[in-house]
Structure 1
Amino acid sequence: MTHVIAQGTFDILHPGHVHYLRDARAFGDRLTVIVARRENVTHKAPPILPNRQRRDMVAALDPVDDARVGHPDDIFAPIEELDPDVIALGHDQHHDAAAIEDELARRGIDCEVRRASPLDPAYEGELLSTGHIIDRIVEQRDGE
């Protein structure tokens, strides 16, 4: 059995998240998703939704076998615990795959790092980013 880990913020789920998780699941037989803790999201605005709510939403998706909130201090701790075969990165996630591979090797974790494919919008105006969804909401609500 090939165990895959995917990780991300997953704030305000959208088709891009579903595509990423479907791709990640296709890399193996079991998919565990690690949802980033709000306090650990530093590369963009913090999530709108609480940790538990984002975890529960991700856990409800068909490709996902298990979802958990990440470690408060060490993002690699759950990976050490779960000992996956593959870590799936989203096609546009900010993570440096080579840096992840180096840290995995340093910790003695033998697993492959793979990137999911991009998702092309199915139609003009389709929103595939939480930031774009928030921008659209603000834009439309400001006009009310």
Structure 2
Amino acid sequence: MKKVMIFGTFDIFHIGHLKFIKQAKELGDKLIVVISRDNNVRKIKDKKPVHNEQHRKEILNSIKYIDKAILGNKDDVYKVIKKNKPDIIALGYDQSHFVDKLDSKLKEFNLNTKVVRLEPYQEDKFKSSKIRNK
């Protein structure tokens, strides 16, 4: 069974998120979605999420393409990778946080995880920051 893992905030859920999730699910048998913790969202994006982490988790767990939605680790974003040992990590087209150390962490964990970058879906229209600023 091939496990795929994706990461995101998924705060203002929109069709771009759904297309990202569907694209990731097509890469394997089991899709694990790691949700950014509220404190990490504040640190990275310098703003509080509209929906708290528990609400975002509940929304994501209701989506049929997702086998498991989990909250990320508060202190170490890489711990969830070590624990779940995905075969594939699918990154969003604009995902940059924590990516710089990803390859070295996979080596450190002795994982043969493949890292792929997924295609955007109408990124000029469906991006949370653009929707939020309307």
Same fold (TM over 0.5): yes
Aligned residue for 1:142?
none
Q: Is the 8 A contact 1:86 1:114 kept in 2?
A: yes
Distance of aligned partners of 1:100 and 1:9 in 2 relative to their CA distance in 1, 3 Å threshold? same
Unmatched runs of 5 consecutive residues or more in structure 1: 137-144
The offset of 1:19, in angstroms, is 0.9
- Give 2:126's aligned residue: 128
Q: Is the 8 A contact 1:97 1:113 kept in 2?
A: no
Q: Name the TM-score, length of structure 2 as normaliser.
A: 0.90
* Structure (1 or 2) with the larger CA radius of gyration: 1
Q: What is the alpha-carbon root mean square deviation over aligned residues?
A: 1.7
Task: Write out aligned runs for 1:32-111 (5 A).
Answer: 32-41=32-41, 42-44=43-45, 45-95=47-97, 97=99, 99-111=101-113
The CA distance in 2 between the partners of 1:107 and 1:10, in whole Å, is 27
Q: Is the 8 A contact 1:14 1:127 kept in 2?
A: no
Counterpart secondary structure, 2:44: coil
* Unaligned segments of structure 2, at least 5 residues: none
Alignment identity in percent? 31
Whole-angstrom CA distance in 2 between matches of 1:96 and 1:73: 12
**Correspondence for 1:14:** 14
Report the TM-score, using the length of structure 1 for normalisation.
Answer: 0.84
Give the count of matched residue pairs.
Answer: 132
Structure 1 runs of 4+ with >2 Å offset: 95-99
Higher RCO, 1 vs 2 (CA within 8 Å, ≥6 residues apart): 2
